[in-house]
Amino acid sequence: MSDKYLTIALGKGRLARQAIALFEKIGISCESINDKTTRKLIFTDEENRIRFFLAKAPDVPTYVEYGAADIGIVGEDTILEEGRNIYEVLDLGFGKCRMCVCGPESAKKYLSGGGQIRVASKYPNIASDYFFNKKHQTVEIIKLNGSIELAPIVGLSEVIVDIVETGSTLKENGLVVLEEVVPLSARVVVNHVSMKMNNERINDLIRSLKGAL
């Protein structure tokens, strides 16, 4: 086996925990990576010459594009929003959810009317692509950083573009899905140069992950 470490970036949070469990299933694991109290950011599996690091999800495609990580595991929402030059090689099938246009039932009329409305989102690129390029509707996109469901309730925007998983956040706040933008799940992404230089090793790893799904 090569002495070079293969570096894998994981988007912090629920997806990282599921990804770690999947790697454990194929015999790749690192001491203390599951320790919730640790502030460590890098974990190494010496035997398999693999190291993992945890990063904020939107930074994972950046690390992979620049080759600081050979491989990344991150949600399709982040991949679409960041628009980085990376290979998307595998749909892991977990972390399934949907990117949707949501709002109060009464906001439905704004989506067929073609009028200028305000759209709040943590995903301004996905939201503009959907409204401008797919729906050909001119809207004002307002970037927020979380608790997006607040926006139509307090009158910041008519609708939102956000992730819907169970639908309970919408329900508890009197909002509904008005349109679906795109289905989402966790993906494996790879750096272009790493894919060429470490082709066999990366393909073996991808095959093993696929087999363990």
Binding site for ligand PRP (CB under 6 A): 122, 146-149, 162-169
Closest residue (Cβ) to ligand PRP?
A: 146
Q: 46 or 165: whose CB is closer to ligand PRP?
A: 165
Do 76 and 182 touch, CB atoms closer than 8 A?
yes
Other beta carbons within 10 angstroms of residue 205's beta carbon come to 23
Position 136: which residue type? Answer: H
Nearest in space to 158 (alpha carbons), one of 175, 170, 146, 172: 175
Do 164 and 116 touch, CB atoms closer than 8 A?
no
Task: Label residue 182 exposed, middle or buried (CB < 10 Å: 0-12, 13-18, 19+).
Answer: middle
Q: Which residues touch 206 (CB under 8 Å, ≥6 apart)?
A: 89, 90, 188
Smallest distance, ligand PRP to C-beta of residue 150, A: 9
Residue 155, CB half-sphere, CA atoms under 13 Å: how many?
Answer: 0
Location of structure tokens 């950083």: 145
Smallest distance, ligand PRP to C-beta of residue 29, A: 27
Smallest distance, ligand PRP to C-beta of residue 56, A: 12
Q: 32 or 166: whose CB is closer to ligand PRP?
A: 166
Smallest distance, ligand PRP to C-beta of residue 184, A: 11
Smallest distance, ligand PRP to C-beta of residue 122, A: 6
Q: 15 or 50: whose CB is closer to ligand PRP?
A: 15
Q: 32 or 168: whose CB is closer to ligand PRP?
A: 168
Q: 13 or 114: whose CB is closer to ligand PRP?
A: 13
Q: 133 or 145: whose CB is closer to ligand PRP?
A: 145
- Angle (CA) 30 37 62, round 5°: 65
Smallest distance, ligand PRP to C-beta of residue 170, A: 6
Distances in Å between the Cα of 9 and the Cα atoms of 56, 62, 86, 87, 187 are 10, 10, 13, 14, 12
